[in-house]
Amino acid sequence: MTLSELAGKRAPRSLLTNIPRLVAHYYETRPLPSDPLQRVAFGTSGHRGNSLAGTFNEAHILAISQAVAEYRAQAGITGPLYMGLDTHALSEPAWMTALEVLIANGVRVRVQPGLFTPTPLVSHAILEHNRAGVDGVADGIVITPSHNPPQDGGFKYNPPSGGPADTDVTKVVQARANQIMEDELRDVRRVSLEDAMAALEEFDFITPYVTQLPEVIDLDVIRASGVRIGVDPLGGSSLPVWQAIQAAHDLNLTIVNDVIDPSFAFMSVDRDGKIRMDCSSPYAMAGLLALKGDFDVAIGNDPDADRHGIVTADGLMNPNHYLAVMIEYLFQNRPGWRADAAIGKTLVSSALIDRVGASIGRRVVEVPVGFKYFVAGLQSGSFGFGGEESAGASFLRRDGRAWSTDKDGLIPGLLAAEITARTGQTPSARFADLTARLGATAYDRQDAPATPDQKKILGSLSPEQVTATTLGGDPITAKLTRAPGNDEPIGGLKVTTDEAWFAARPSGTEDVYKIYAESFRGPEHLKQVMDEARDVVAAALGGQ
């Protein structure tokens, strides 16, 4: 991908989203159910789109909310629904729409009026409610498109497990929502916003989460050490949570940016010239990186706080690198976890994690892309940690109970401070030691063109269609189209050797496929692996 001349620079006014126009289109644009691109479509993180393209409009939210209300009634979910939202411009209109429908359907909705509510706090609230075992079984909704650009909107449903809904749920909700849209919304029940606001149940998401943080992070050692912590919420919903943490726990913590602006005008531009609140991108994180000398550890979050970015004096850590550091540290410093608690990783996360697991005697469970595959393990305590290469992770409380079963971008940030305080080394210094022992890794992800037919073939390959026997000069040890950890289809292909691997998956939104690759033999070998990966995929596609 070509690097934009704006990458890492503050967004010019010409790049800012026209918020009034965006919100007007949310209400006025009527999506066409006959257009596949304008139908409800749940991916790994719910339904996403933007109002200008007719892919995230009031009609979508009316239909999805009605479908969720019907689903939870059929599933016997009678407790409250905990609802959060982030700071994207479309989130509050969608939140209001959803509230009107849910209340009309007799759903008890718990919200924190006047404050945005991050994804991990919703997950935490669901688990806490259901652990108590009173007042029915609860579930939740978060209105967010995660780190996506300012013009985007998103809607995700979390069932009583507290984590992202699996396909057995999302397929039902998606099919029913599209049917409702095809029927011109006739089945939607709705009350006025005034009536909906009068019926909602106010709930404090922040205090229980902040009060219980010592159950998951050793805040005493952080406080005693005086570790200097910087935090940039990137204009997101984590701001009031960090403010509460700062007030409650007396940490040496400074919030460097307290601006909430739906145009995200304060952001620096990402690699491709778009505004994107991606805390794993050094271009989007340029503002915090400029302050790296002021702190021992600095933390960034995306707008719904389900992702983390860790900055030390050495710069922004690669998400894969920090996953490996977290895993090694946690499994050596959490004696309250089960002795057989496993490490969960997605199949495109670093193979360094496998080497860490072997070195500490813990089983690594490799699953397809999607945090939903970690939910049951985190809930039961059979997974101590679940993480994915896109800077998403969660882990157990210190006593081995579940903390959140969705991605939590705050606790990995605080863990970076705990690691620094307890060991006297920053996470980046510990990563250097880790690679000195287990091997240095080079990792990359690129896109390659693919027609819709090619994407379909790639998504349903069999290992026998891969005829190559070597990769990067080494014998191929596995050709995978199903994840080894749970035998679920990966929707693509992964090829491994003892020293490298690549994975190829079709994009759900563009005519490209994504190639992930890693080598323990350095950048030049990685390039060779990436080049050969394209040839392997082309051969498997049979010239389609």
Catalytic residues: 146
Q: Hey, what amino acid is at 146?
A: S
Cα–Cα dist 48/42, whole Å: 8
Contact 248, 211 (CB under 8 A): yes
Q: Phi and psi dihedrals of 245, rounded to 5?
A: -65, -45
Structure tokens at 335: 């004696």
Structure tokens at 244: 């509460």
Contact 14, 275 (CB under 8 A): no
- Full DSSP string of 273-338: SS----TT-TTTTHHHHTTGGG-SEEEEE-TTS--EEEEETTEEPPHHHHHHHHHHHHHHS-TTS-
Q: CB-based burial of residue 509 (10 Å sphere; 0-12 exposed, 13-18 middle, 19+ buried)?
A: exposed
- Token pair 């970076």: residue: 416
Q: What sign for the dihedral angle of Cα 56, 60, 65, 67? A: negative
- Full DSSP string of 402-439: -S-SS--SHHHHHHHHHHHHHHSS-HHHHHHHHHHHH-
Half-sphere exposure for 363 (CA within 13 Å, toward CB): 12
Cα–Cα dist 433/147, whole Å: 31
Cα–Cα dist 103/196, whole Å: 6
